[in-house]
Amino acid sequence: MYQSGLMYCRPVSVSKGSELPPPFLRLAGDPVRWRLLRELAQSDRRVRELVEAVGEPQNLVSYHLGKLRGAGLVGTRRSSFDGRDTYYRLDLERCAEALADAGAALHPGLRADPRPMPAAPRRVLFLCTGNSGRSPMAEALLRHRVGPRVEVSSAGSQPKPLNPNAVQVMAGYGITLRHEPAHLDSVSHKRFHLVITLCDRVREVCPPFPRMIHWSVADPGDLEAFQRTAVELDTRIRFLQPTLADLKD
> Which residues are marked as active site?
128, 199, 206
Are 206 and 215 in contact by the 8 Å Cβ rule? The answer is no
- Residue 137: name the closest of 89, 177, 109 by CA: 177
Are 39 and 89 in contact by the 8 Å Cβ rule? The answer is no
- Residue 144: name the closest of 202, 221, 230, 247 by CA: 230
Pairing of strands 150-156, 194-197: unpaired
Cα(160)–Cα(163) distance, integer angstroms = 9
Residue 205 buriedness (CB in 10 A; 0-12 / 13-18 / 19+): middle
- How many residues does this entry show for the chain? 249
Are 202 and 215 in contact by the 8 Å Cβ rule? The answer is no
